[in-house]
Structure 1
Amino acid sequence: MRRPRALLLAGGAAAGVIAVVLSAYGLRTWLTARGASEGLALWAWTPLAAVLVLQTALYLCERPVRAGAEGRERLDRLHVAVLMPVFNEDNGYLRAALASLLAQTRPPDSVHIVDDGSELSHRAVRRWWMSAARDRGIRTSWHRTPNRGKRHAQVHAARHCPQAEVFVTIDSDAQLAPDALEEVLQPLADPRVQAVAGLVLARNNRAGLLSRVTDLWFVTSQMVERASLSPLGGVMVASGSLAAYRAELLTDHQDGYLSETFMGRPVTFSDDSMLTLYALMRGRVVQQPSAVVFTAMPETVGHHVRQYLRWMRGSSLRSLWRVRYLPARHPALFAQLLRWFQQLASTAALLWLLALHLQPGPLPSPLLLAVPLLLASGQTLRYLVLRRSDQSLRSQVGTWALTPVAMFWSWAVLRPLRWYGALTCWKTGWGTRQAGAEVQLGTAATA
């Protein structure tokens, strides 16, 4: 069924504008009734509203990149090597990920897999893959190394394909759409583009309430925040589930990539954002929304919390590096400073409003209380713009209807975790999948 894209895009933009107007009116009315000063609240609200309007205008500009005839010819000649680190991956997900590489409309020229000292055995999958890749004429290698982390596994894999011109990194649980490789390469026809991020969807989105809410939140963040940075060439993180990089980014920076430290401790996470930072230092990083990959999201609260905490620690650390190393005029640097302001201002405004609410006086206007939900619902409409092969429109609408739950989870759980991660970013351990696969294909809903 065809999604009403134009209507949904217009609806999301309209909801954002209405939320801005209602928030201004409701906030001013309530503060006046309580005899409170409007200055501080409006000082924070005005730039936040301006950022929201700018972000909306930018993400509405994002379109899939299409290389011209000459560009496609250049892309066809590139040696594209896929790098896949494996560590304690469920064999069902691993085999599905590898099978998706065999079904690509633009097959990879080579695939290099490194088992980073897994405790789980992947021997059966390895035997199947080596035979299947040989039959398809895809050069491949599979190595097992002592456990030293994802970065070492990627560099080890890259050393086995020195002729590569593009490295495509994918996770061992990532199932590519049939045209994902062809699509993720399209923006690289522009020599200014150094890296391309794919669009990551949860493969197990129907496994439970948590996976649905996570899918809604994660897809919306890509379709809103990342999509608003893509027209500027300032995407700050290309997810490891599917990303394409100019090969020299890894080869030229491999020593620094492997030896990164923070407060005297080796950094073993945030590898995707580090590679993206190298790309930003050289040029543009964009998102290709037509390059789709399905990956496994956490199905338990414990796994979800540990993963998000690791992401936030890595995000906090990487934000410091962006401010330190990016050129002064780079859009990503400006976006990072805006992100800091948004986080500080929105959190401070929320705490101030809660403190004011606890004091005697009239309750907040229903209009003011409706603003966050209206704004969130407008942004999550982007979830329905996608034409998904793994869900019916009815299922997508059902997930979108969980917006109030996702909003509550974001504010009550994820926001405190974000601040806790920032305050403990010196803890640089990986934190998940240390004792085996945490999500298994046998227990997840399949696409």
Structure 2
Amino acid sequence: MSTPLLTARVHRSGMVLSAAVTLLAAAAWAAHHAVQAANYGNTTGSRLAVVWGVTFLLLLAQTLMYHAERTHRPTTRARRQLDALHVAVLVPVYNEDPGYLRLGLESLLAQTRRPTSVHVVDDGSTNGDYANLRAWFTWAAAEAGITATWQRTSNGGKRHAQAAAVRVSPDADVYVTVDSDSCLAPNAIEEILLPFARPKVQSVAGIVLATNHRTNLLTRVTDLWFTTGQLTDRSALSAMGAVLVNSGPLAAYRGAVVRDNLDSYLNETFMGRPVMFSDDSLLTLYALLRGRTVQQPSAVVFTALPEKASHFGRMYMRWMRGSTIRSLWRLRYLPITGWAYWAHLIRWFTVALSTTVLGWLLIVEPLKYGNRPPVSFLLVPVLIGWAQALRYLGVIRSDERIRHRALTWLLMPSAVLASWTVLRAMRWYGMATCARTGWGTRQNGAEVALATPTSPELPEADEDTVQLPLVKLLDPDTEATLELALPAR
């Protein structure tokens, strides 16, 4: 009997594009109405009209671009060439929850296109040595015909753990990087390899969804915000072959991109301090300097999101500090003739423009001119958020019905409010403190644990009698059990 697996796919629809354009038009009308209704005067009103006009032109261009992204489908001959590639999966581990780690390892063994090798590196975890899990995985990988290694090294950071895995797989044609809590959809590796049929493609990003998205309000809104960002901003960049940042839970790189830059990857410094984070964006930068970087919407991975505000805050601050450092490197190294360079500048232009407008409307106008912004201005960011988050509704998950995703979509005003206030302040604070280059999370053990218990560890028994353990997830809608396991021999 076949075992059901946790899966998802991104559905493309002309209705989504039409609805997004309609909501953007409504937001433009709301902005125009607010400018006309406010007592800003002819000069200020005209300037604001120009600002909003530029904003909506950029949003419209981005909307058309992310709908232009296509899933790569190579020819039969190209597929055979891809099947012959040596694909090595790099799995750095540090203080990970054993349940999530097992879930991820089992998903690697259950791939429709199994990797050639999987290399786990325990980066000096302080909450255990995963001995039982290591014994099970070594056996299960051998049963699946996959070369597997499991090293334990002294703590040196994620990059050094990945480098240790690279050194034991020097002949790999493609390196697939995952996180220790990554649970891949059954066809994720097969799909993420397809864009490499084009010689110019140097790296491929997967789509990251949350495993624990229904835990609480924070995980719901974070999943909505994170998924929407991938399917709008990153999809638009992918259409131009200029993805700026791949996600850690699932990305793939040509072997030479990683090996040729390994020394600089391990020894990056900023203001005299070693950089411990922003590893995915640096690998993506190396790939950009050699060719195209794209996203494959059909390559899906599930990961654990922070379930507490303090954990999310540390993670986001690390992202913002890393983003600041990486922005400086892009300005320095990306060719000015490439689309990625200008896409990067446009992104920072929109951040600066929106921050300036927000400060003007909420501070300058009320204090200096006595003009309060009209309530109708509140509709503008909400409508824009809902327009972009329509892409979230296009994600079809095996463990969730569309009505529940629609309820999450309605929470977009919460994400917009957080983005315009708390996250914006954290962004600028992260820029100001970017010299703090430490990792900042999981120093005292795993911060997120798998809610449902895993099966017992591999028992000490004869190989012929050992049964492969399962990891089970409960579907909250149907109460059916989703099991991840290696197919029976």
TM-score interval, smaller chain: over 0.9
Matches of 1:74 and 1:27 in 2, distance apart? 58
Cα RMSD of the aligned pairs, angstroms, is 1.9
1:392 shift after superposition: 1.1
1:343 is displaced (CA, Å) by: 0.7
Provide the residue aligned with 2:459 in structure 1: none
For residue 47 of structure 1, report the CA deviation from its aligned partner: 2.5
Does the alignment pair 1:311 with 2:327?
Answer: no
The one of 65, 72, 77 equivalent to 1:65 is 72
Q: Deviations over 1:50-85 (max 9, x none)?
A: 211111110111121111112111101110000010
Moved more, 192-201 or 324-333: 324-333
Aligned to 2:425, which of 416, 430, 444?
A: 416
Q: Distance in 2 between matches of 1:139 and 1:301?
A: 39
Distance 1:162 1:51 in 2: 43
Q: Does 1:80 align with 2:87?
A: yes
Query: CA offsets per residue over residues 371-424 of structure 1, 9 Å max, x none?
Result: 111111111111001111221111111111111111111122111111111111
* Separation in structure 2 between the aligned mates of residue 4 and residue 78 of structure 1, nearest angstrom: 30
2:224 maps to 216
1:275 maps to: 283
> What SS is found at the alignment partner of 1:282?
coil
1:308-387 map, 5 Å: 308-355=316-363, 356-358=365-367, 363-387=372-396
Equivalent residue of 1:22, what SS?
Answer: helix
Task: Tell me, yes or no, if structure 1 residue 120 matches structure 2 residue 124.
Answer: no
CA contact (8 A) 2:361 2:373 kept: no
Q: Which moved more, 1:60-69 or 1:293-302?
A: 60-69
> What residue ranges of structure 1 are gaps of 5+ in the alignment?
none
Aligned partner of 2:329: which letter?
A: W
Give the Cα separation in 2 of the matches to 1:360 and 1:52. Answer: 30
Map of 1:89 onto structure 2:
96
Alignment of 1:23-422 (within 5 A): 23-32=31-40, 37-121=44-128, 122-355=130-363, 356-358=365-367, 363-422=372-431
User: Is the contact made by 2:27 and 2:381 (CA closer than 8 Å) also made in structure 1?
Assistant: yes
SS at match of 1:442: coil
Distance 1:309 1:390 in 2: 31
Matched, 1:428 2:440: no
Q: CA deviation at 1:334?
A: 0.6
The 1:446–1:246 alpha-carbon spacing in structure 2 relative to 1, beyond 3 Å, is farther
CA–CA separation in structure 1 for the residues paired with 2:267 and 2:391: 39
Cα distance in 2 for partners of 1:359, 1:26 equals: 19
* TM-score, normalised via structure 1 length: 0.96
Cα distance, 1:109 vs structure 2: 0.4
CA distance, structure 2, for counterparts of residue 192 and residue 35 of structure 1: 51
Q: Work out whether residues 31 and 37 of structure 1, in 8 Å CA contact, stay in contact via their aligned partners in 2.
A: no
Higher helix share: 1
Q: Is the 8 A contact 2:242 2:339 kept in 1?
A: yes
Change (3 A) 1:31 1:65: farther
- CA–CA separation in structure 2 for the residues paired with 1:414 and 1:134: 46
Instruction: Give the length in aligned residue pairs.
Output: 446
Using a 3 Å threshold, how does the CA distance of structure 1 residues 4 and 193 change in structure 2: closer, same or farther? closer
Counterpart residue type for residue 372 of structure 1: P
Q: Paired residue for 2:28?
A: 20
Amino acid at match of 2:101: L
Task: Name segments (4+ residues, structure 1) moved above 4 Å.
Answer: 1-4, 358-363, 443-447
Deviations 1:187-235 (A, max 9, x none): 1100010000000001100100000000000000001100110010011
CA distance in 2, matches of 1:158, 1:4: 36
SS at match of 1:244: strand
What's the CA shift for 1:363?
Answer: 4.8
CA distance in 1, matches of 2:264, 2:140: 36
Offset, 1:240: 1.0
Moved more, 15-24 or 40-49: 40-49
The 10-residue stretch of structure 1 (268-277 or 8-17) with the greater mean CA deviation from structure 2: 8-17
TM value normalised by structure 2: 0.88
Q: What do the CA deviations read for 1:123-145 (whole angstroms, capped 9, x no partner)? A: 11111100100111100100000
1:25 positional shift: 3.7
Q: Which amino acid is the alignment partner of residue 85 of structure 2?
A: L
Any idea what SS the aligned residue of 1:83 has? strand
Look up the SS of the partner of 1:38 in the other structure. Answer: helix
Which amino acid in structure 2 is aligned with residue 334 of structure 1?
Answer: W
Structure 1 pair 36–427 and aligned structure 2 pair: CA distance change class (3 A): same
Deviations 1:8-29 (A, max 9, x none): 2321122123212331342244
- Name the % identity: 52
Aligned AA for 1:87?
Y
Question: Do the aligned partners of 1:203 and 1:446 also contact (CA within 8 Å) in 2?
Answer: no
Asked if structure 2 preserves the Cα contact closer than 8 Å seen for 1:220 and 1:382, the reply is yes
Give the conservation status (yes or no) of the 8 Å contact 2:85–2:174: yes
Cα deviation for residue 263 of structure 1 reads: 0.2
